[in-house]
Amino acid sequence: MEEEAEIWNWYCSHRVREDQAESIRFELLKSTYRIDRDSQPDWYEIADLALSRLNLDVPLTIYQAQHAEGMNASLAYLPSEAHIILFGPISSKLSREELLSVFAHELSHLLLWQQWDGEFLIVDQILAALTNDRKAHPAHLESMRLFSLYNEIFCDRGSLFVTDDPNVVVSSLVKISSGLDSVNAESYLKQAAEIFERESGPSQSLSHPESYIRARAVQLWHNRDVDAETKITDMIQGQPALNELDLLAQRTIEVKTRRMVDSLLAPNWMQTEVMLGHSRRFFDEYAPPAASHSDEALATDLKTDDQLLLDYYCYVLLDFVTVDRDLEECPLAASLILAEHAGIQSRFTEIVRKELKLRKNQLDRIDREKNKIVENAAKEFAPKP
């Protein structure tokens, strides 16, 4: 934790150095055409309106990218400065309100980086450094991917806030992604609804969510759907999958694992030195909960459609079944009770039979008598006063 704090503090003091800022400005000069206020006052009037509605008081410069393929817009980040780059014929394809939506989206990136003490900018920089390392872990890559997707979702919300018109936000999104001159936003929203009727899987994109996901998110916010955040999370990342965990999901699974171990080791008779030693291989300085410990929400929170994650939970339990031979079949009985409570009994019994080479009638007997076995274990293996 001390090392992590040092990394955070370093990035706090090195957000954008002056030499980096000058490099960004110089690159803009080389790769774009800088548009002055006098040459395109209408563009600046629209962009200034977006700045005002987002409560941003920063100098603004607009650029047109050279040699651009397709339409797009981006923000070149510099602290307390707004530099918006337009790509392709975006200004001629979009209406005034659609251009306002695009400017609002790009300026929302600046808002995200500058507000909240700049913490989201620091997160972005740390994740970028992690993912650029050749030793990057898949969790680092997935964290960066999800962070990028939610960044865009946040900025779409900024567009909706500024325009107060979901159709304008959607039409600007679709025009930019398709290159069309005219788009019927209501028709595309119906198209998006059809997609979600047939498929509910999460985004597979690397940096920007699919247009139909962004369109539905905008519609949910505009309709003030009370479950909007949950629905958007499902669209962006879905349920955790063991092979696709980001850093936050890893922490979530770690907490759930701890809760499962706590539930298993709550009885005093399960707290042998061998059991506690094994639990500390998962959690340093592990201390078991009180015997009265209860976790009624465990079944709901362990529920998963990911087979590998389900197997992970089951194999964690299986470890505790076999680690202390002196307790004989008692840990298996306790694990069967917990597996039943947690809603993973079916898969757990399959794994137990396979890994422990138990005959069906052996496992069936222990399962039938599990409560009695645990009651007897509480007497036989209770710690001596």
Whether residue 224 has pLDDT greater than 70: yes
Strand order in the sheet with 32-35: 32-35, 60-65, 82-87, 72-75
Do 210 and 253 belong together in one domain?
A: no
The dihedral of CA 155, 161, 166, 172: what is its sign? negative
Is 14 domain-assigned? no
Distance CA 251, CA 222 (A): 32
* 231 and 288 in a common domain: no
Burial class, 15, CB count within 10 angstroms (exposed 0-12 / middle 13-18 / buried 19+): middle
Buried b (16+ CB within 10 A) or exposed e, 29-45: eeebeebeeeeeeebbe
> What pLDDT is attached to residue 199?
77
pTM: 0.87
Q: What distance in Å separates the CA atoms of residue 93 and residue 311, rounded to the nearest whole number? A: 52
Whether residue 13 is contained in a domain is answered as no
Asked whether residue 5 is assigned to any structural domain, the reply reads no
Same domain, 191 and 68: yes
Least confident of 145-154, 172-181, 201-210, 268-277: 201-210
- 121, 188: one domain: yes
In the predicted structure, residue 41 carries a pLDDT above the cut 90: yes
**Domain end residue (candidates: 238, 273, 308):** 238
Q: Are 120 and 148 in contact (CB under 8 A)?
A: no
Domain that holds residue 224: 19-238
What confidence score (pLDDT) does residue 166 get?
97
List, in order, residues 6 or more apart from 382 with CB less than 8 Å away. 268, 269
Q: How far apart are CA 209 and CA 207, in angstroms?
A: 7
Could you tell me if 284 and 350 lie in one domain?
A: yes
pLDDT for 279-317, tens place per residue? Answer: 999 999 899 998 888 899 999 999 999 999 999 999 999
267 and 366 housed in the same domain:
yes
Does residue 108 form part of some domain? yes
State yes or no: pLDDT of 1 exceeds 60.
no
In a domain, 23, yes or no: yes
- Domain stop point among 220, 238, 256: 238
- C-alpha pair distances (Å), 152 with each of 41, 215, 247, 348, 362: 28, 12, 19, 41, 55
Same domain for 82 and 226: yes
How many Å separate Cα 358 from the centre of its chain?
Answer: 40
12 vs 196: which has the higher pLDDT: 196
Based on the domain organization, do 27 and 120 belong to the same domain?
yes
Is 11 a domain residue?
A: no
Question: What pLDDT does residue 15 have?
Answer: 58
pLDDT category, 7, cuts 50, 70, 90?
low
Is residue 175 located within the same domain as residue 202?
A: yes
DSSP-derived secondary structure for 172-225: HHHHHHH--S---HHHHHHHHHHHHHH--PPP--SSS--HHHHHHHHHHHHTT-
Looking at the structure, do residues 130 and 255 belong to the same domain, yes or no? no
The share of the chain scoring above pLDDT 70, in percent, equals 94
Rounded to the nearest integer, the mean pLDDT of the chain is 92
Residues 28 and 173 in one domain: yes
Across 110-124, average pLDDT:
92
pLDDT at 3: 55
Residue of 47, 30, 31 lying closest to 91 (CA atoms)? 47
Q: How far is CA 330 from the centre of its chain?
A: 39
- Report yes or no on 7 lying in a domain: no
Nearest to 64 by CA among 42, 40, 35: 35
In a domain, 1, yes or no: no
Report helix, strand or coil for 86.
strand
pLDDT digits (tens, 9 = 90+) for 17-33: 666 788 888 999 999 99
* 282 and 367 fall within a common domain: yes
Choosing from 238, 263, 279, the residue where a domain stops is: 238
Please tell me the predicted confidence (pLDDT) of residue 68. Answer: 81
Whether the Cβ atoms of residue 192 and residue 212 lie closer than 8 Å to each other: yes
Q: Which pLDDT value is given to residue 141?
A: 94
Q: For the chain, how many structural domains are there in total?
A: 2
DSSP, res 78: B
